[in-house]
């Protein structure tokens, strides 16, 4: 069952959300890149390291350059690898198709889930002349990389999973786009789920001590209290990857809230839930966000986690089934949610580069909406991406219909329509996660 939320209601509750966010994905803990896409000689791939380069030996043919910047190590490593795979898949697909009007040069860098490492990696991309980047993943990294590298160097950044409300209002010279929705919406969705779906009137919030955690905690608290007459008893920050979370859990669970909200990442979440189940029972509802939707968690924690629910952006674009088949064939596993968002980010960047006819970020940014938003031209999906790129190179109008959504950019580079899933951990289900319902959002 799908329900709709009007954007005006979201924006009314977004005022205090303001800082930054990250979105996670439903995925296996995979770091390998899968098999190559074939086509073209002179290829090199090193998918186990932080670098991946693919380049055609194609004479005088123009080369389209694109890069992917993801957390392959650090707290988000289990999520970053498969998101990277979604982001590198379009080039693999296009090169395998053959008879391309351009060649492709693609590189992958590792942010290490760290802003300074992300800046260093982004500078390497800038110095090497890559005009477009799929990434970064986390907003704590994305905002700093964007402001210190992308904007000064005229690079187009298109994040598949950075969800900060502050991305919307960046003075970015129209260089920054994203295929992921804003946490201004997710806070509203979480509050609706807590009240309408789970029937809770009080909550405590534990959040990772960074911009993502703080912003989403504030967004949820404001929406829960203002729109649903709920009470937020505590908001407790925690540091990443600690050996024990007993103390912040004790503070959060004081006064027995009817629900605990946990905003964080898998590497920390394992210990948080181990400590939770060691001291508390399954009678308390726990609501997590996308960063803690990882099917491996129940096994790592040693509990079925049946009292844990989640909200996460859902891939429901027109090209979803085509993408799923492509991803499954390439990597021999099902894609996670933000794998589709990464595919779409790269596909749009590649099409925009071809239309611009240049590896110049300032030229490419002018074509991002041209190739993504609806027009009278050819409809391009993951299933006919190669045909669409050939048409774009011949000067035909095209518009991309994605796997994660229709991928229509508004004036801020945000999505105009997205869908959230309401999930529950269920070890009786394949993948350990059950989708209970979806919530649609249109601007």
- pLDDT at residue 25 greater than cutoff 50: no
Span 297-343, pLDDT tens digits: 999 999 999 999 999 988 899 999 999 999 999 999 999 779 999 99
Residue 386: name the closest of 89, 157, 176 by CA. Answer: 89
Can you point out the beta strands (E) in 166-230? 176-178, 202-208
Statement to judge: residues 65 and 207 lie in one domain: no
Both tokens of residue 251?
């503070």
What value does the mean pLDDT take over residues 25-54?
35
pLDDT of residue 442: 64
- Give domain status of residue 33, yes or no: no
pLDDT of residue 189: 92
- Give domain status of residue 113, yes or no: yes
CA pair distance 375, 409, nearest whole angstrom: 13
CA pair distance 333, 336, nearest whole angstrom: 9
Statement to judge: residues 171 and 196 lie in one domain: no
Residue 178: name the closest of 140, 217, 144, 137 by CA. Answer: 137
Beta bridge partners of 162: 22
pLDDT of residue 413: 96
Statement to judge: residues 280 and 291 lie in one domain: yes
- pLDDT at residue 38 greater than cutoff 60: no
Statement to judge: residues 126 and 247 lie in one domain: no
Mean pLDDT of all residues in the chain? 87
Span 237-248, pLDDT tens digits: 999 989 999 999
pLDDT of residue 353: 98
pLDDT of residue 322: 98
Looking only at the bridges linking them, the beta strands covering 231-238 and 52-55 are unpaired
- pLDDT at residue 28 greater than cutoff 90: no
Percent of the chain past pLDDT 90, that is, above it, reads 71
Statement to judge: residues 147 and 233 lie in one domain: no
Statement to judge: residues 345 and 311 lie in one domain: no
- pLDDT at residue 24 greater than cutoff 50: no
Lowest-confidence pick of 37-46, 85-94, 171-180, 190-199:
37-46
pLDDT of residue 18: 31
Lowest-confidence pick of 147-161, 199-213, 362-376:
199-213
Statement to judge: residues 127 and 188 lie in one domain: no
- Give domain status of residue 7, yes or no: yes
pLDDT of residue 261: 98
- Give domain status of residue 42, yes or no: no
pLDDT of residue 436: 94
Q: Sorting pLDDT into bands at 50, 70 and 90, what band is 424?
A: very high
- Give domain status of residue 349, yes or no: yes
pLDDT of residue 140: 80
- pLDDT at residue 36 greater than cutoff 70: no
Q: Are 56 and 246 in contact (CB under 8 A)?
A: no
Which residues are CB-neighbours of 86 under 8 A, at least 6 positions away?
A: 160, 327, 335, 338, 339, 340, 341, 342, 343, 346
3-state class (DSSP) for residue 252 = helix
pLDDT of residue 56: 46
pLDDT of residue 80: 92
pLDDT of residue 250: 97
- Give domain status of residue 362, yes or no: yes
More confident residue, 394 or 439: 394
Can you point out the beta strands (E) in 370-416? 378-380, 398-400
Q: What is the pTM of this model?
A: 0.77
Statement to judge: residues 78 and 143 lie in one domain: yes
- pLDDT at residue 132 greater than cutoff 50: yes
Statement to judge: residues 280 and 371 lie in one domain: no
pLDDT of residue 20: 32
More confident residue, 181 or 75: 181
Statement to judge: residues 128 and 68 lie in one domain: yes
pLDDT of residue 153: 98
Hunting for tokens 């990772």 — which residue is that?
Answer: 208
Burial environment of residue 201 by CB neighbours within 10 A (0 to 12, 13 to 18, 19 or more): middle
- Give domain status of residue 30, yes or no: no
- Give domain status of residue 424, yes or no: yes
CA pair distance 258, 256, nearest whole angstrom: 6
Q: Are 203 and 260 in contact (CB under 8 A)?
A: yes
Structural domain range at position 268: 2-21+184-315+418-442
What value does the mean pLDDT take over residues 337-366?
96
What value does the mean pLDDT take over residues 95-111?
97
pLDDT of residue 190: 95
Residue 404: name the closest of 344, 347, 358, 322 by CA. Answer: 344
Statement to judge: residues 199 and 279 lie in one domain: yes
Both tokens of residue 395?
């000067």
The domain total for the chain is 2
Lowest-confidence pick of 88-92, 212-216, 240-244, 372-376:
212-216
CATH number at residue 388: 3.40.50.2300
pLDDT of residue 439: 87
Burial environment of residue 367 by CB neighbours within 10 A (0 to 12, 13 to 18, 19 or more): buried
Statement to judge: residues 168 and 191 lie in one domain: no
How far is the first Cα of the chain from the last one, in angstroms, to the nearest whole number?
20
More confident residue, 131 or 210: 131
């Amino acid at each position: 069952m799908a329900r709709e939320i009007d954007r005006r209601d979201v924006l009314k509750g977004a005022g205090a959300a303001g800082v930054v966010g990250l979105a996670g994905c439903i995925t296996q803990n995979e770091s390998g890149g899968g098999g190559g896409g074939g086509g073209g000689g002179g290829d090199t791939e090193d998918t186990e390291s932080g670098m991946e380069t693919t380049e055609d030996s194609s004479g005088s043919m123009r080369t389209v350059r694109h890069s992917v910047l993801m957390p392959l190590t650090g707290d988000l490593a289990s999520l970053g690898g498969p998101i990277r795979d979604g982001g590198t898949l379009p080039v693999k697909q296009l090169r395998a198709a053959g008879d391309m009007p351009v060649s492709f040069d693609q590189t992958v860098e590792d942010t290490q889930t760290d802003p300074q490492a992300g800046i260093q990696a982004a500078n390497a991309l800038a110095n090497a002349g890559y005009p477009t980047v799929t990434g970064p993943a986390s907003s704590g990294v994305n905002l700093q990389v964007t402001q210190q590298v992308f904007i000064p160097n005229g690079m187009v950044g298109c994040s598949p999973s950075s969800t900060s409300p502050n991305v919307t209002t960046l003075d970015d010279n129209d260089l920054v786009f994203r295929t992921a929705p804003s946490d201004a919406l997710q806070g509203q969705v979480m509050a609706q789920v807590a009240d309408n779906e789970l029937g809770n009137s009080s909550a405590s919030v534990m959040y990772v001590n960074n911009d993502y955690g703080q912003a989403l905690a504030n967004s949820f608290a404001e929406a829960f209290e203002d729109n649903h007459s709920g009470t937020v008893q505590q908001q407790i920050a925690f540091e990443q990857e600690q050996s024990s979370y007993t103390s912040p859990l004790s503070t959060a669970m004081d006064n027995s809230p009817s629900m605990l909200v946990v905003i964080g990442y898998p590497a920390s979440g394992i210990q948080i839930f181990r400590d939770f189940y060691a001291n508390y029972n399954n009678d308390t509802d726990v609501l997590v966000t996308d960063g803690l939707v990882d099917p491996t968690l129940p096994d790592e924690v040693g509990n079925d986690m049946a009292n844990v629910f989640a909200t996460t952006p859902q891939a429901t674009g027109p090209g979803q089934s085509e993408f799923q088949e492509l991803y499954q064939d390439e990597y021999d596993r099902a894609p996670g949610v933000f794998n589709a968002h990464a595919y779409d980010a790269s596909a749009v960047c590649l099409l925009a580069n071809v239309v611009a006819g240049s590896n110049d970020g300032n030229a490419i940014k002018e074509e991002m909406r041209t190739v993504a938003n609806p027009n009278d031209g050819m409809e391009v999906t993951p299933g006919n991406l190669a045909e669409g790129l050939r048409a774009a190179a011949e000067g035909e109008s095209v518009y991309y219909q994605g796997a994660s959504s229709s991928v229509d950019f508004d004036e801020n580079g945000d999505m105009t329509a997205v869908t959230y899933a309401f999930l529950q951990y269920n070890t009786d289900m394949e993948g350990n996660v059950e989708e209970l319902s979806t919530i649609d959002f249109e601007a």
